[in-house]
Amino acid sequence: MDTTEVMHILVSVVTISIAFSVMGLYAGGLFGFAMSFPVILLTLGLGFVLHELGHKYVAQHYGCWAVYRAWLPGLALAVGMALMSGGRLVFAAPGAVYIGGKHISMKENGIISIAGPLVNITLGVMFLFLAASGDVIIATVGGVGAAVNFFLAFFNMIPFPPLDGSKVIQWSMPIWLLTIGTAGAFMFLF
């Protein structure tokens, strides 16, 4: 990863964390924002970064070059919608991993695409263990982390381009159903 890619990831993580913390601003002023931002930065930030790195490293496994680039209009839209809706509606399209260098098959593209959501499901389960902690702060971070990561997995599996689900469903309907069903069940149950 070069310096430019790291900067694009950092700008994306901080911006979407601000957008998703806006509800805390409206609910509790600057104190509410200051309380929610670190939790969102940790949980959403970790889920976002590892999701994108999942795509990147699986693509590289298949011999492709892969680089994350932020999408500045999408980042501005996320913050703008959060501010206009009081934090109740955030549409985040922060950027993507761009892949190239060789022709990849539909199966390879599906596997590259499913890597990110599978990372989020795994992180969500790990955060559930923290949510079961007897410590209020750790349990809060765990609960938020689980919710955020299950949501990221579910949202990204929606089968509309350019979301991951559109590529996974072209490759394998059963795998798409299993993945979106798992993410959805966790999201709605926990």
Q: Are residues 188 and 95 in the same domain?
A: no
Q: Can you give the residue range of the structural domain that contains 97?
A: 1-42+64-103
Q: Based on the structure, what is the number of domains in the chain?
A: 2
Whether residue 149 is predicted with pLDDT greater than 90 in this model: the reply is yes
Asked, for residue 19, whether it belongs to a domain, the answer is yes
56, part of any domain: no
Q: Is residue 11 part of a domain?
A: yes
- Are 16 and 78 contained in the same domain? yes
In a shared domain, residues 86 and 127: no
- Look at residue 24 and tell me if it is in a domain: yes
Same domain for 115 and 186: yes
Nearest-angstrom CA–CA distance, 64 and 182: 29
Classify burial at 140, counting beta carbons within 10 Å of its beta carbon; exposed 0-12, middle 13-18, buried 19 or more: middle
pLDDT digits (tens, 9 = 90+) for 60-112: 999 999 999 999 999 999 999 999 998 888 888 899 999 998 899 999 999 99
Q: What is the per-residue pLDDT for 101?
A: 87
Q: What is the pLDDT of residues 105-120, one digit of tens each?
A: 999 999 999 999 999 9
**Residues 90, 140 within the same domain:** no
Specify the pTM: 0.94
Alpha helix segments (H runs only) across 62-105: 72-84
Residue 99 inside a domain? The answer is yes
Contact (CB, 8 A) for 160 and 91: no
